[in-house]
Amino acid sequence: MLEIKNLHAKIGDKEILKGIDLTIGPGEVHAVMGPNGAGKSTLAAVLTGKPGYEVTEGSILFQGQDLLAMTPEERAWAGLFLSFQYPIEIPGVTITAFMKAAVNAKRKAHGLPEFKAGDFLKLMKEKMALVQMKPEFAKREVNVGFSGGEKKRNEIFQMALLEPELAILDETDSGLDVDALKIVADGVNTLRSPERSAIIITHYHKLLEYVQPDVVHVLKDGRLVKTGGRELIDAIEAKGFDQF
Helices (H), the chain: 40-48, 72-77, 95-109, 117-130, 148-162, 178-191, 206-210, 231-239
User: For the chain, how many residues are written?
Assistant: 244
Over the window 139 to 158, marking each residue x when it contacts other proteins by CB under 8 A and - when it does not, the resulting string is: -------------------x
The correct pick among 62, 84, 157, 241 for binding other proteins (CB under 8 A) is 84
Closest CA to 152 of 126, 139, 134, 133: 133
Task: List % helix, strand, coil for the chain (3-state, nearest 5).
Answer: 40, 30, 30
The correct pick among 37, 72, 135, 240 for binding other proteins (CB under 8 A) is 72
The correct pick among 6, 21, 66, 109 for binding other proteins (CB under 8 A) is 109
Q: For the CB of residue 179, give the shortest distance to other proteins in the complex, in Å.
A: 26
Helix (H) / strand (E) element for 200: namely: strand 197-202
Which region, judged by CB under 8 A, interacts with other proteins, from 3-11, 72-80, 120-128, 236-244?
72-80
Over the window 1 to 40, marking each residue x when it contacts other proteins by CB under 8 A and - when it does not, the resulting string is: ----------------------------------------
Backbone torsions φ then ψ of 241, nearest 5 degrees: -90, -10
Q: For the CB of residue 145, give the shortest distance to other proteins in the complex, in Å.
A: 15
**Number of neighbours of residue 185 by Cβ within 10 angstroms:** 21
Name the site residues for other proteins (rule: CB under 8 A).
Answer: 48-51, 71-73, 75-77, 81-82, 84, 87-93, 97-99, 101-103, 105-106, 109, 158, 162
